[in-house]
Structure 1
Amino acid sequence: MPLSLGSRVPRRLKATLLASAVSVCLVAVSAPAEPLGVGDRLFPHLGNPGYDVSSYDLSFTYAGDNGKPLQAVTTIDAWATEDLERVNLDFAHGTVDAVEVDGLPAEFTTAGEDLVVTPKFPLPQGSWMRVTVHHTSDPVSEKGRDGGWVRTTDGLAMANQADAAHLVFPCNDHPSDKAMFTFHVTAPDEYTAVTNGLPAGVTRTGGTTTWTYRTLHPMATELAQVSIGRSTVVHRTGPHGLPLRDVVPAEDRELLEPWLARTPDQIAWMESKVGTYPFETYGVLMASAATGFELETQTLSLFEKKLFTEPAYPRWYVESIMVHELSHQWFGDSVSPRTWSDVWLNEGHATWYEALYADEKAKKPLETRMKAAYGASDRWRESGGPPALPKSPRPGLKIGVFRANVYDGAALVLYALRQEIGKPDFERLERAWVRAHRDGTATTADFERLASGIAGRDLSGFFQAWLYGEKTPPMPGHPDWKPVPPPETAKK
């Protein structure tokens, strides 16, 4: 069990620390609260300095499809990495009823999209703190903002990437601060709740059921998933005895089974490329919802059900999209981006393995796709920025950073790298990357250093041109590949 501040600091030392902080505290708390951030170039107010979260314990009570907000309690255990008179949390879409810090009532206010908490006593650097927030969690969408809770035809799911977890629960909403998660979800008996991680108990009382789940690996807030619906949970076994569970609308269980059955072989295929699956379980959540995207929530990827039921989508295409989200479990989930400018490492790799799977399993040539990407790359760089220097999204629109330049544009960088260093070294790099940074965060610079080490030569010039250049460099091994001008230019 985590230790409280009182049990970690001797009483005499605690008194001395508090006494020495009184004058500073009086001055500090008189200043107006302000929103803070960790300085992310794309989302400057996401995350908060001064502490490192160890774990989240989230409790949600869902009363059914009555339009009312969920009742919730969020408990955060964290280390203070500097002296704190206030604790800023990202939280923007719910009502806060009360806050405690280390069991004592704390004052709180809001500033921008931050919940600003003032503990009864200041928190010295190196101390352990437990912040408990009693609040509501509102699924109602804000105009001009997407993400957070997603309404399905029979309940709710989550889609928090990139800046929307704090629309659901108070948190340090930046992937640089990963933590362990415990979920408690209470719903009427006719509903089933499934979250990230493994089940840790079910209790039934007075017509409601409480489902508890825990993660066994740290997770970024944007990867949290809670599904509440009239669902069926389908269990099977993957490679090495890996427990798999899929969540589907109960009425569609048989219809969707052929797709669900593909997951074990897809995991085995990914393991043949990059090594053992990095988490405790996996599965797909097929939601009856209109999100406009699929999402790699950790251990339980979110898909729109219509991807699997729309006859216009070829089988090879659907399977390659399944592999895209699966590959994110290694690239983006286990190895998370240190900043959102590093998102090309997530999406470029997922797109790479999506395309490689289609090449190997459906005879859709990787080289053809990469040549087409090369032709469009200059236009993508102009509209969205270079792969590792994407342009900022419009305020409040999380999907604005997810442009073609960080998908096929970034996969094109990986293709160029394989051309540059050779297939054997490239494959060694991929395995080494997910092994070296498992359960952590990493940067573009980390990838460059590892690639240079494996290749045995300095690749900084290559990466500078391919990741940051306004124009796409010549493709190694394909001097005939040329950028394709936009149609209006071609006509002139």
Structure 2
Amino acid sequence: MALSRSARLGAVATAAASFLAVAASGAPTPGAPGIGDPYFPRLGNGGFDARHYDLSVAYDPGTGRLDGRTTLTARATRTLSSFDLDLQRLRITRVEVDGRRAAFTRDGDEVTVTPRRELRAGRRFTVTVTYGGTPRPLGGPIVFGSEYGWMKTADGVFVACEPNAASTWFPSSDHPSDKATYDIRIKAPRGLTAVSNGRLVSTYDKGGSTYTHWQESRPMATYLATATVGRFDVRTGRTPGGIPVYVAVDPVLKDAGGPDVYAVTAAATDYWSKVFGPYPFEETGAIVDDMPQAGFSLEVQSKPAYSAVRDESTIVHELAHQWFGDSVSVARWKDIWLNEGFATYAQWLWAEHRGTRTAHDSFLAAYGARAADDPFWRIVVADPQRDTMFSSAVYQRGAMTLQMLRERIGDRAFFRLLPAWTERHRYGNADTADFLRLAERVSGRDLDDLFTRWLFTPGKPAL
């Protein structure tokens, strides 16, 4: 008989409490197999803090074969007899801890590594995993019923991994609460372009291959990492405000119409830097690939990935995520409105900035578009549940909450609050309670009733 979901979560919580109790004694203990996020209990890993990933991947678009070698540098948060990593489907051929071969076992997507000696609390260590196979995308109801993760294209691969698909292509602590810096090295057939996060360190041809090295020096959640490969027209430069720009567009989409991705990216990056605080990364940009099967775009750190760009509003949404979601990441997936509600509200602010519609009018349009008995209003935005975490209510009602907050506390306090939020939690993690506390501190107002009504209570709020 299968355990119920509540029983499974209870078992995870009990195991976590047991791990902590033993860890307090200083005796070696196994690392927890997950951080205990209710939506994905086995994702992320307890007992260590990821600090840096050095990824080397070789991809053959013809066969779909990926060969990889990942070295994770981490710090033990308690004395470990073993620890876990997340890796889906791909076959592991070797594991080393601090350069010495280590034993490992697998249980589905969970890899348990047992080093030759215990890892003392506070110690930095490296784990190197050599692996290979044919990555497969994930599917199901979570991401709009679409495939996501490692998605093969006609000339390469489109990699967009929110929320739980980074482990389809590299071993990791696959949860946004465990952020790290990255070096990502990609080998692809000569003539293809490999695009990843951060800044381009080097690219060169050797034999029939192109080798590309990208470096993300700011902490990044695993789901925001990419290794997209294909034929791209690349344009580089700087925004008017001086931020480096790298935009790669699939030439198949050259005459598809739509906005000038480079121009909008540059303009929006500079504008959000004024509204939300300084741009948090070394480079801004975009990856635009011909991937209609995906049906979504993703706020890939420093270079949002678009399966296609149909309007300017999509670009400003994904760029707003560089502050709300990428720099300030959720502590648990139930707080996803802090990403999507804010990015949707940014679309309303952009329309206001462009003079086409006020944010108040955008609010009224969204509020009035759905009758009180519409299922939209049944979603509890502060805890929307795993399979509906990307429902339209999280986006739209999340944005409505921000407009109601703005109208309650006034523009002066509201536009102090946004950069205060991104500064306080820059490169870190936060939750809804953190935002409520800061909003009350900045505004000097009691806001519990507003957040309770708009985020925690199902039903259409009365105006």
TM-score normalised by structure 2 residue count: 0.87
- Say if 2:283 is the partner of 1:281: yes
User: Match of 1:21?
Assistant: none
After superposition, residues 93-492 of structure 1 pair within 5 angstroms as 93-136=89-132, 138-141=134-137, 144=140, 146-250=147-251, 252-253=253-254, 258-290=260-292, 291-305=294-308, 307-308=309-310, 318-361=311-354, 363-375=356-368, 376=370, 385-393=379-387, 400-475=388-463
**Distance (Å, rounded) in 2 between the aligned partners of 1:455 and 1:367:** 20
CA shift in 2, pair 1:457/1:367, >3 Å: closer
AA aligned opposite 1:460: D
AA aligned opposite 1:390: P
Q: Give 1 or 2 for the bigger CA radius of gyration.
A: 1
Q: Detail structure 1 runs of 4+ shifted over 6 Å in the superposition.
A: 254-257, 380-383
User: Match of 2:56?
Assistant: 59
RMSD: 2.2
Contact 1:188 1:208 in 2 (8 A): yes
Structure 2 segments unaligned to the other structure (5+ residues)? 1-26, 141-145
**Distance (Å, rounded) in 2 between the aligned partners of 1:116 and 1:379:** 48
Q: Secondary structure at the match of 1:214?
A: strand
TM-score normalised by structure 1 residue count: 0.82
**Distance (Å, rounded) in 2 between the aligned partners of 1:238 and 1:150:** 31
What's the CA shift string for 1:258-299, capped at 9, x where partnerless? 332222212222123222211100111111102111110000
User: Match of 1:20?
Assistant: none
What's the CA shift string for 1:385-406, capped at 9, x where partnerless? 311111231xxxxxx4200121
Contact 2:70 2:170 in 1 (8 A): yes
CA shift in 2, pair 1:380/1:300, >3 Å: farther
Contact 1:384 1:404 in 2 (8 A): no
Question: How far off is 1:255 after superposition?
Answer: 6.5
**Distance (Å, rounded) in 2 between the aligned partners of 1:163 and 1:454:** 34
AA aligned opposite 1:224: A
Contact 2:232 2:249 in 1 (8 A): yes
User: Match of 2:68?
Assistant: 72
**Distance (Å, rounded) in 2 between the aligned partners of 1:302 and 1:137:** 24
Q: Secondary structure at the match of 2:455?
A: helix
Find the partner of 2:40 among 26, 30, 43. Answer: 43
Question: How far off is 1:377 after superposition?
Answer: 8.2
Aligned residues: percent identity?
38
Q: Secondary structure at the match of 1:150?
A: strand
Q: Secondary structure at the match of 1:405?
A: helix
Give aligned pairs, total: 429
What's the CA shift string for 1:81-128, capped at 9, x where partnerless? 012111111111211111001111111111132111111112121111
Q: Secondary structure at the match of 1:283?
A: strand
Structure holding more helix per residue? 1
Contact 2:397 2:454 in 1 (8 A): no
CA shift in 2, pair 1:300/1:379, >3 Å: farther
Q: Secondary structure at the match of 1:218?
A: strand
Structure 1 segments unaligned to the other structure (5+ residues)? 1-23, 309-317, 394-399, 476-492
Q: Secondary structure at the match of 1:109?
A: strand
**Distance (Å, rounded) in 2 between the aligned partners of 1:418 and 1:424:** 9
What's the CA shift string for 1:173-192, capped at 9, x where partnerless? 10001100100101121111
What's the CA shift string for 1:116-158, capped at 9, x where partnerless? 1111112121111100000115333467583221222221121
